């Protein structure tokens, strides 16, 4: 399984992607029941990986706010909930790229205080600056 995650451009990873998850990301895929024994083992390892994997925020361009695990905490890596309906989809939309900081007013508008506290602990990466 390591080759699929660490080297997605490898021939082996590309073949497995074409067969088992051609239109999605490995971590987002629901796999069919009729799988080979080898693939079932990979899926089992993937399930274990998903329980402990979380995104490093960086620029936040590819991290979905409400779906992806990105907030570093022990219980869950996702927001605990929404204060109100939110049209924002990507973590980058919560950042002020010019200043290299979080948009605190936006965080307080949509997230519970405990989530805001954890998000503010994340240091936006230097690569975020444009």
Question: Following DSSP, what letter does each residue of 39-81 receive, concatenated?
Answer: HHHHHHHHHHHHHH-----TT-TT-BTTTS--S--SS-SS-S-
Mean pLDDT of all residues in 6-19 = 82
Would the pLDDT of 130 be above 50?
Answer: no
Measured CA to CA, the distance from residue 83 to residue 112 in angstroms comes to 6
pTM of the model: 0.59
Q: Average pLDDT over the chain, rounded to whole?
A: 79
Would the pLDDT of 109 be above 50?
Answer: yes
Mean pLDDT of all residues in 55-59 = 73
| 35 and 76 inside one domain | no
3-state secondary structure of 102: strand
Number of domains in the chain: 2
Least confident of 7-16, 33-42, 95-104, 114-123: 33-42
| 48 and 89 inside one domain | no
| 66 and 109 inside one domain | yes
| 15 and 70 inside one domain | no
Would the pLDDT of 105 be above 90?
Answer: yes
| 72 and 92 inside one domain | yes
The residue behind tokens 């905490």 is: 73
Contacts with 51 (C-beta within 8 Å, 6 or more apart), sequence order: none
The residue behind tokens 């706010």 is: 65
3-state helix, strand, coil in the chain (%, to 5): 45, 5, 50
Mean pLDDT of all residues in 16-32 = 73
| 46 and 62 inside one domain | no
Would the pLDDT of 38 be above 50?
Answer: yes
Which range marks the domain in which residue 13 is found? 2-52
């Amino acid at each position: 399984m390591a080759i699929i995650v660490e080297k997605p451009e490898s021939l082996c990873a590309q073949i497995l992607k074409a067969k088992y998850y051609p239109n999605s990301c490995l971590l987002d895929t629901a796999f069919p029941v009729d799988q080979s024994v080898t693939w079932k083992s990979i899926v089992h390892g993937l399930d274990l990986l998903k329980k402990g994997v979380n995104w490093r925020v960086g620029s936040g361009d590819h991290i979905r706010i409400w779906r992806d695990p990105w907030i570093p905490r022990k219980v869950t890596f996702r927001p605990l909930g929404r204060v109100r309906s939110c049209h924002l989809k990507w973590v980058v939309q919560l950042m002020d790229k010019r200043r290299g900081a979080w948009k605190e007013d936006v965080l307080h508008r949509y997230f519970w205080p405990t989530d805001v506290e954890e998000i503010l602990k994340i240091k936006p990466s230097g690569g975020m600056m444009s």
